[in-house]
């Protein structure tokens, strides 16, 4: 007796499509695509961008807590120019504060110029926000000219915090300075 073998079966067993095997496909010898060549470089660039983000150092308070005040500096962006230092700092306030220019704010990010010989610091620029934690659209962005001196103050913070900020800035890149309060 002759058994008929169905083409989709082997020895009378039905084959599932997953059991069918194809011969391996041979690809022509091609160069990697432009994207594949640049992928490691792209990943490295992304990593560098992530590392270039501000690594804020908290001097006082709890970052992200909208119910309390906190002060932070960015140690990666301190610039040294002789006895002068450029420092980026930011402060989020527990309550609304009315600034010298008459608008209400809850947080600000500023650039300050520190004179290590005179032990003084003044704001050079500032971005003010109506919400805590530096979110939302800025209420104002200010650049302070040389004749518009805005001493570095930290509203509601202990006075020694401004002195600590000056001391920390002056200890970067120029050897240790004696501790002194800003004038």
Domains annotated on the chain, with CATH: 57-170 (2.40.128)
Are 90 and 110 in contact by the 8 Å Cβ rule? The answer is: yes
pLDDT of residue 35: 45
pLDDT of residue 180: 46
- pLDDT over 60 (residue 29): no
Among residues of the chain, what percentage have pLDDT more than 70?
65
Q: Which residues contact 15 (CB under 8 A, 6 or more apart)?
A: 8, 9
Mean pLDDT value across the chain: 77
pTM beyond 0.85: the answer is no
- pLDDT over 80 (residue 183): no
Are 123 and 144 in contact by the 8 Å Cβ rule? The answer is: yes
pLDDT of residue 135: 94
pLDDT of residue 137: 96
Distances in whole angstroms, Cα of residue 119 to Cα of each of 82, 113, 122, 170: 14, 11, 11, 9
């Amino acid at each position: 007796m002759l058994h008929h073998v169905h083409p989709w079966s082997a020895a009378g067993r039905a084959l599932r499509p997953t059991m069918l095997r194809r011969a391996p496909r041979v690809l022509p010898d091609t160069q990697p695509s432009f994207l594949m060549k640049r992928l490691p470089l792209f990943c490295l660039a992304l990593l560098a961008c992530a590392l270039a983000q501000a690594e804020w150092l908290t001097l006082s308070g709890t970052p992200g807590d909208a119910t309390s005040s906190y002060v932070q500096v960015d140690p990666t962006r301190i610039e040294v120019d002789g006895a002068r230092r450029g420092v980026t700092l930011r402060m989020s306030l527990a309550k609304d504060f009315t600034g010298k220019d008459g608008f209400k704010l809850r947080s600000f990010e500023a650039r300050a110029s520190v004179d290590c010989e005179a032990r003084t610091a003044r704001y050079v620029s500032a971005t003010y926000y109506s919400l805590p934690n530096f979110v939302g659209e800025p209420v104002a962005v200010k650049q302070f000219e040389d004749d518009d001196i805005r001493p570095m103050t930290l509203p509601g913070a202990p006075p020694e915090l401004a002195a600590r900020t000056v001391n920390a800035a002056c200890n970067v890149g120029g050897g240790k300075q004696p501790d002194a309060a800003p004038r």
